[in-house]
Structure 1
Amino acid sequence: MPSGGGVQSVEALFLLLLMFVASFAALARKLKIPYPIVLVIAGLLLGFLPGVPRINLDPDIVFLVFLPPLLHAAAWTLSWREFQRNFSSIAKLAVGLVFFTIIGLALSAGKLLPGFDWRSAVLLGAVVAATDAIAATSIARRVGLPQWIVEILEAESLVNDGTGLVALQFGLLILMTGRTPSIVETVGRLVFLIGGGVLIGLAVGAIVAWFEKWVDDGGIEIVISILVPYATYLLGARAGVSGVIAVIACSMYMSRMSVTYMSPGVRLQAAAVWDALTFILNGIVFILIGLQLPYVMGQINGMSHSVLLRYGIGFSLAMVAVRMIWIFGETYLSYWFQRWAKKPDLVAPQPAAVFIIGWGGMRGVLSLAAAVSLPYTLPDGRLFPQRSMIIYLAFCLIFTTLVLQGLTMPTLIRLLGLAGETSLHAEEQEARRVLFREAIAHLSRKRSKNHDQSAMFGELIASYQRRLDAMPAEREEHVKGLVDQSRRNEEILEALQVEREALIRLRNEERIDDEVLRTLQRELDFAESRVHTGSILAL
């Protein structure tokens, strides 16, 4: 952050960053370009302007202030069903590709990069291994990329945040002690860091979910939701396990349980707050990434800008190629092995889909923060000579993947024939039908027991039936002429609750995706909110 100046300079800087985020995000919307790309480019250009304050990217600020809430928000929207279904692919990317990248650099970096031995190459690999799916998935959703590809990119970026930082810990251990851990020690340490993080995350999530059942206050629950990722991250770090994995596990658990403890009003309030919070944090982060290049280049001595540019471009292209080689190689090797084993219902890989998964491996702020967190000196007091080059190469890869891959992905998705309606649309329509039928059945039972209110129940049933008959069109109809407004509202709320229970059952039976649940749940929340505020006369 800024060097010197006190509280007022920090406030001024924060306001300046917010102004940049709002201005350039508006420009991105106008240009129909994902805002992370525009913000990084804008930050880069601003960094070379005279008079723009110098802002050092403090890794502690990234890891302790930005990372926990952003991980929480991303994990909250992750589909548990798709995570289970794609676990093998996610693990190969988030674990296999991370170590493939590290090993590849360890074997070749000494020949390709000046002054790099295998230890510094391991650190470089750990730094650049983690991907950032914000830009990739924002583009993918906008052009209608198949949902399973979006889910893989999102899950990979979350899990390899943890595996990348775990690999960084091992790299630092090797660098600072000069000792290479044994295979048994490495595996044991990995199991402890990841498994311990999962256990702590689930424990925190279970405690908070239990406590939330006794609280129904929007302000309190929103404060708790913001506190939880920070507390989970710090607990994981204090326990010596992966704080990143702890936050991911906690957030995924709480997201799945939130349908049982969050009221509709609180859910709507929290969604609005978190949308704004994640946009601000992401915006500041991407601006800060762009601002770093002038200072990073200034720290590298003995090389001209043209030589640095060649190294940056060459390294970035090599990392893109490494990802492509791994993804195509492991995908087709796995397919051929399963074919040899005569696995039933085997589906051949789609080259276009495999290519887009490879092209979606964009890097983000975590890579730069990991690079900046490297030590300045070695245990013997000597300067760590490769530190500045690692930071520079990490920045080049971030910039290249965000801008080059981000700008070309919409065109590639269309050219490869992957754009179009996602499979979730069919699930959503089927879920609507089930919800309408459940509500009709519930209201029919109530009408048979309340003959004096038969007309009211008949109109409510007719409203649901018209909406069911109009499927797949989505519209809302108003029922008029009801005399007992309060009784009618009670019945509407009961019918909405029946729909919620049916929706949760469909999710638990894995007949619909979590994304479908959130979409329809939001509609039900809005419907209930309108009933409470009296802004509609009926469903």
Structure 2
Amino acid sequence: MTDIRTVELLFLLLLLFIIAFGQLARKIGTPYPIVMILGGLLLGFVPGIPRIALDPDLIFLVVLPPLLYASAWATSWRDFRLHLAIILFLAFGLVGFTVLGVALIGPKVLSGFDWRLALVLGAVVAPTDAIAATSIARRIGLPNRIVDVLEGESLINDATGLLALEFAIAIVVSGSVPTVSGGLLSLAWLTLGGVGLGLLVGWIAYCVERRIDDGPIEIALSILVPYAAYFITDAVHSSGVLAVVACGIYLTRRSTDMFTPTVRIQVSSFWQSFTFVLNGLVFVLIGLQLPSILASIRGYNLSGMILDGAIFSLLLILLRLLWVFPGSWLGNFVRCRLNHTTTKTPKPREVFVVGWTGMRGVVSLAAALSLPTTLQDGSPFPQRDFIVFLTFIVILVTLVLQGLTLTPLVRALGLHGSAGPDYEEQEARRIVIEAAISHLESIREERSEELDHIIDDIVGHYRHRLASLQPAEADPEHVSHHYSFVEISRETARIERETAVRLRDEGRINDQVLRRIQRELDLSESRFIDPDEE
């Protein structure tokens, strides 16, 4: 009972910290991963705060699958496919370049490291974080094409980094060096097996979910899916990461005919809150690890280790910048040749931002903590504690330093807000509204004249909406009418809501009736929310 109460207390404390740090991040306009990791860092030194060890299995088996699934669900397959060549040059090429670069240079800048230990360290820190980079990039308004590349890279490179780590650990623990053919076969099975099994799980989930129309059940099933994809694939020693990503991208393409509108709203609302809590948990836990990490390196020269960490972090940043320029240009060249199209070569300033946005996160720390404690002969794993410490320093430098400098860098390069208005969305809304008007006009021809006044009223509403999308070309009177319609609709919704609450307070309706009325009003009013207000 005591253990259960301790776990409950720790969970409540973490949840409280997540809420407080999330609100602070919103108040000061800073991406929440940065605030949460710094908050966890400070909390770790508060007397009386429980020491919470970060279990690698908790990350890889509990936290990672739903977070990857949510990121994949939010990914556009069209944009992912468009930038696939560049993404692969980063997710595979950059990981390999980083691992080999650290293996060659690491022994020269890190005392006590040979090429084998440097290989392990390089594999640990090679993957970028799937949440930190994109949440920060979206928060500061980077162009969508940059965010798409960063998001795609971070979704895939976990798998390649973990494969490289597996090989590197085998070299250190047993002294065996994998063959090139064996490595290529493992990479092929990791990739093809992971993607194939992920698509299979996604197809099964789609077949099941399209036959269900119950919000709570479908939410529960949506939680099960990423774990099923990950565990099934991991059981056959393929990439659970790629399986979850493939499953998520497949299902998001099918979600239009998989969910009813009501269920889609419920599922979306749940996952928005669920991923925020998981992300917050991850970043706060990273910060809370510092006291434990410092305790494990007692007897070391701390100032010298911090200097080593700073130099190593600079090395990683330089390796990424060295790769992204040729990698981006080669990826663009391959894309043009395969698609038989001509696209603009990425601008150097855009490529530089991609290179600067190489944040590391919880996967790297979990990978470092998962290193074996002993070798095959029973001797301690060399430099294990130093590797964990260096990984923590890299996370702090890349996430906090690069994350905080990204906004002024983007502004200095003239990329801030360069994405401009979402013309695709505007054009889609115009086409959708015109289709609705055309359908209403066809109804007018088929139905009796007694419906004309109803159709006129609906068509008038659509025309006002259409006018608001084209203010430069539209009749100013129509635009004015649309905004007046929105303002009056919001005001009347407020009156309806207040009246319903008054009826509840007077005992004339119960709370269940009030909730149903409020839900209808909320859904109706949400149609009038400007995307910029969200």
Q: Which TM-score applies when normalising by structure 2?
A: 0.86
Query: Contact between 1:131 and 1:362, CA under 8 Å: does it hold in 2?
Result: yes
Q: Could you say if the C-alpha distance between residues 450 and 33 of structure 1 is closer, same or farther in structure 2, counting changes exceeding 3 Å?
A: same
Q: Please identify, of 192-201 and 126-135, the stretch whose mean Cα deviation from structure 2 is larger.
A: 126-135
Q: Match of 1:484? A: none
Structure 1 CA distance for aligned equivalents of residues 205 and 271 of structure 2? 18
Matched residue type, 1:126 = A
Q: Match of 1:468? A: 466
Structure 2 stretches lacking a partner, 5+ long: 472-478, 487-518, 530-534
Q: Alignment partner of 2:414: what SS?
A: coil
Q: 1:330-349 residue pairs with structure 2 within 5 A?
A: 330-332=327-329, 345=342, 347-349=344-346
| TM-aligned CA deviation for residue 48 of structure 1 | 2.1
Structure 2 CA distance for aligned equivalents of residues 380 and 265 of structure 1? 59
Q: Could you say if the C-alpha distance between residues 63 and 310 of structure 1 is closer, same or farther in structure 2, counting changes exceeding 3 Å?
A: same
Q: 1:217-256 residue pairs with structure 2 within 5 A?
A: 217-256=214-253
Query: Contact between 2:321 and 2:352, CA under 8 Å: does it hold in 1?
Result: yes
Q: Could you say if the C-alpha distance between residues 398 and 435 of structure 1 is closer, same or farther in structure 2, counting changes exceeding 3 Å?
A: same
Q: Could you say if the C-alpha distance between residues 11 and 339 of structure 1 is closer, same or farther in structure 2, counting changes exceeding 3 Å?
A: closer
Q: Could you say if the C-alpha distance between residues 85 and 534 of structure 1 is closer, same or farther in structure 2, counting changes exceeding 3 Å?
A: closer
Q: Alignment partner of 1:92: what SS?
A: helix
CA displacement 1:402-447 (0-9 Å, x = unmatched): 1101111111111110012526611111001100011111112222
Q: 1:59-70 residue pairs with structure 2 within 5 A?
A: 59-70=56-67
Which residue of the other structure, out of 133, 138, 143, is the alignment partner of 2:135?
A: 138
Query: Contact between 2:85 and 2:335, CA under 8 Å: does it hold in 1?
Result: no
Structure 1 CA distance for aligned equivalents of residues 326 and 304 of structure 2? 32
Q: 1:303-382 residue pairs with structure 2 within 5 A?
A: 303-332=300-329, 345=342, 347-382=344-379
Q: Match of 1:262? A: 259
Query: Contact between 1:70 and 1:281, CA under 8 Å: does it hold in 2?
Result: yes
| TM-aligned CA deviation for residue 331 of structure 1 | 3.5
Structure 2 CA distance for aligned equivalents of residues 384 and 535 of structure 1? 60
Q: Match of 2:75? A: 78
Q: CA RMSD in A?
A: 2.7
Structure 1 stretches lacking a partner, 5+ long: 480-528
Q: Match of 1:399? A: 396
| TM-aligned CA deviation for residue 43 of structure 1 | 1.1
Matched residue type, 1:99 = G
Structure 1 CA distance for aligned equivalents of residues 527 and 309 of structure 2? 63
| TM-aligned CA deviation for residue 212 of structure 1 | 1.0
Q: Could you say if the C-alpha distance between residues 10 and 465 of structure 1 is closer, same or farther in structure 2, counting changes exceeding 3 Å?
A: same
Whether 1:108 and 2:123 are equivalent positions in the alignment is: no
Q: Please identify, of 102-111 and 173-182, the stretch whose mean Cα deviation from structure 2 is larger.
A: 173-182
Q: Which TM-score applies when normalising by structure 1?
A: 0.85
Identity %: 48
Query: Contact between 1:161 and 1:244, CA under 8 Å: does it hold in 2?
Result: yes
Structure 2 CA distance for aligned equivalents of residues 161 and 346 of structure 1? 29
Query: Contact between 1:47 and 1:293, CA under 8 Å: does it hold in 2?
Result: yes
Query: Contact between 1:478 and 1:536, CA under 8 Å: does it hold in 2?
Result: no
**Number of positions where the alignment pairs a residue of Structure 1 with one of Structure 2:** 486
| TM-aligned CA deviation for residue 311 of structure 1 | 0.8
Q: Match of 1:389? A: 386
Query: Contact between 2:31 and 2:139, CA under 8 Å: does it hold in 1?
Result: no
Whether 1:285 and 2:282 are equivalent positions in the alignment is: yes
Structure 2 CA distance for aligned equivalents of residues 454 and 189 of structure 1? 68
CA displacement 1:238-257 (0-9 Å, x = unmatched): 12111111101001100110
Matched residue type, 1:279 = F
Q: Alignment partner of 1:470: what SS?
A: helix
CA displacement 1:284-323 (0-9 Å, x = unmatched): 1101101112211221254221111111111111111111
Which residue of the other structure, out of 456, 459, 471, is the alignment partner of 1:458?
A: 456
Q: Match of 1:196? A: 193
Q: Match of 1:209? A: 206
